[in-house]
Amino acid sequence: MLLAILGLFLYCDSMTVLGIETSCDETSAAIVYDGHVKSNVISSQYVHSQYGGVVPELASRAHQRMVVEVVQEALRLAGIDRRDIDGVAATYGPGLAGALLVGLNFGKALAYGLDAKFVGINHLEGHLFSNSLTSDQPEFPFVSLIVSGGHTLLIHVREPFKYTVLGQSLDDAAGEAFDKVAKMLGLGYPGGPVIDRLAREGNPRAIAFPRPYLKGGSLDFSFSGLKTAVLYYLRDLGIEPGNSLGPSFPDAQVKDICASFQAAVVDVLVDKTIAAADRCRTNTITIGGGVSANSGLRDRLAAETARKGMRPFFPPLEYCMDNGAMIAYVGWLRLRSGMSTAFDLPAVPNLEFM
Ligand code: KG4
Ligand code: ZN
């Protein structure tokens, strides 16, 4: 009997799962076998940069053009045939409706045709496990900060599927604030990586932008006031936000604005994350989502956690951005626990974390 149960677990662990992610402007597919990433292919859509943000219809069309090729490449790099796939995991929300539908429907059709298991994955749960894709994995329980273009979330992760949301963005997400401030400065889209680069050469104490902490020790976030403070600062300088700054505007001043804005965001993110870990009495902190690539955030979190004797986990850069590996990994976790999904699962653009 014991051997039979053990055999069942071994069989389930050794599943090959294909993960598909198309929630926004990355078409990605990955293979996870036995909890290990065998391939992770990401095709980014650069078409949006000329419009200053993601254009939903263009995103859906680009996913349609790329999805077959990306999945084939993921299979090729993993050295497997599509008939080796035991399960297919696809993001079903949150995200852009048309974009989600491409990956979700492709995943369902493939699973149906292969007689494989299918599971729909919450994109945010994917980011939550982006630190589990390498050999140095965090141990449960931990506190996780998910910072992306659409979300800022603090989550207490007691074990897989046992989560408590401790705080979240009440208005603009952190990545959205980065993108909007970059747009005001005429720096293009996506703005986060550009601000990060320019901030490295600026003075973070040059401008005292507000730190929105909210009242009563709240672990929620609100970055729209900070964004407006940058807007007023630019207007006071006689700059009409959104216009190109022109050659007469000193580079050093742009770098100082970027560094001071980034420092304000990072202070709030790091202080609330450490407070959350204290409250949950855990020493382990993980971060995930596009903004977790930010060098200022990584440096400050590393310094503060070292001071407190806490252990931070940062995902490798390819797992900060949207990727299929995190979806395949959560798919593997769910499928081996028997949590498959029916084929009538719809795309849910406004899907909540819980
Ligand atoms: O997780 P993600 O790839 O997509 C969503 O799920 O939203 O996150 C994208 C966000 C964008 O707002 C982008 O500007 C931001 O992540 N981002 C960064 C950096 N790299 C990407 N923000 C700050 N610093 C970065 N280095
Ligand atoms: Zn994301």
Q: Are residues 79 and 20 in the same domain?
A: yes
Residue 263 lies in a domain: yes
- Which of ligand 1's atoms lies nearest the C-alpha of 26? 3
Q: Are residues 7 and 70 in the same domain?
A: yes
Per-residue tokens: 138? 């965090």
Q: Are residues 311 and 324 in the same domain?
A: no
pLDDT of residue 49: 86
Please name the residues in contact with 31: beta carbons below 8 A apart, sequence gap of 6 or more: 16, 17, 18, 19, 37, 38, 39, 74, 75, 77, 78, 80, 328
52 contacts 183 by C-beta, under 8 angstroms: yes
80 contacts 74 by C-beta, under 8 angstroms: no
Q: Are residues 190 and 310 in the same domain?
A: yes
Q: What is the pLDDT of residues 327-340, one digit of tens each?
A: 999 999 999 999 99
Cβ of 126 less than 6 Å from ligand 1: no
Question: Please, which residues bridge with residue 93 across strands?
Answer: 122
CA–CA distance, 181 with 178 (Å, rounded to integer): 5
pLDDT of residue 265: 98
Domain that holds residue 258: 138-315
Cβ of 24 less than 6 Å from ligand 1: yes
Please name the residues in contact with 94: beta carbons below 8 A apart, sequence gap of 6 or more: 23, 122, 123, 124, 150, 151, 348, 349, 350, 351, 352
Q: Are residues 325 and 203 in the same domain?
A: no
Measuring CA to CA, which residue among 2, 41, 34 is closest to residue 17? Answer: 34
pLDDT of residue 8: 46
Q: pTM value? A: 0.94
Cβ of 289 less than 6 Å from ligand 1: yes
CA–CA distance, 267 with 296 (Å, rounded to integer): 10
Q: Are residues 192 and 94 in the same domain?
A: no
Percent of the chain with pLDDT over 70: 95
Q: Are residues 20 and 146 in the same domain?
A: no
Q: What is the DSSP letter of 30?
A: E
Q: Are residues 142 and 252 in the same domain?
A: yes
- Ligand 2 center from residue 342 Cα (angstroms): 24
Residue 344 lies in a domain: no
SS3 (DSSP) at 247: coil
- The letter for the amino acid at 60 is S
Question: Please, which residues bridge with residue 120 across strands?
Answer: 90
Q: How high is the mean pLDDT in each 10-residue block of the chain (354 residues)?
A: 45 84 98 97 92 93 98 98 98 98 98 98 98 96 97 97 98 96 91 97 98 94 97 90 68 95 98 98 98 98 98 98 98 98 98 92
What CATH number is attached to the domain comprising 304? 3.30.420.40
Residue 342 lies in a domain: no
**Burial (0-12, 13-18, 19+ Cβ within 10 Å), 52:** middle
Per-residue tokens: 116? 């494989």
Number of structural domains in the chain = 2
Residue 351 lies in a domain: no
Q: Are residues 48 and 161 in the same domain?
A: no
Q: Are residues 184 and 75 in the same domain?
A: no
pLDDT of residue 6: 44
Q: Are residues 89 and 166 in the same domain?
A: no
Residue 123 lies in a domain: yes
Residue 211 lies in a domain: yes
- Ligand 1 center from residue 320 Cα (angstroms): 8
Q: What is the pLDDT of residues 276-285, one digit of tens each?
A: 999 999 999 9
Q: What is the pLDDT of residues 124-172, one digit of tens each?
A: 999 999 999 999 999 999 999 999 999 999 999 999 999 999 999 999 9
Residue nearest to atom 6 of ligand 1 (CA): 148
Residue 349 lies in a domain: no
Q: Are residues 120 and 143 in the same domain?
A: no
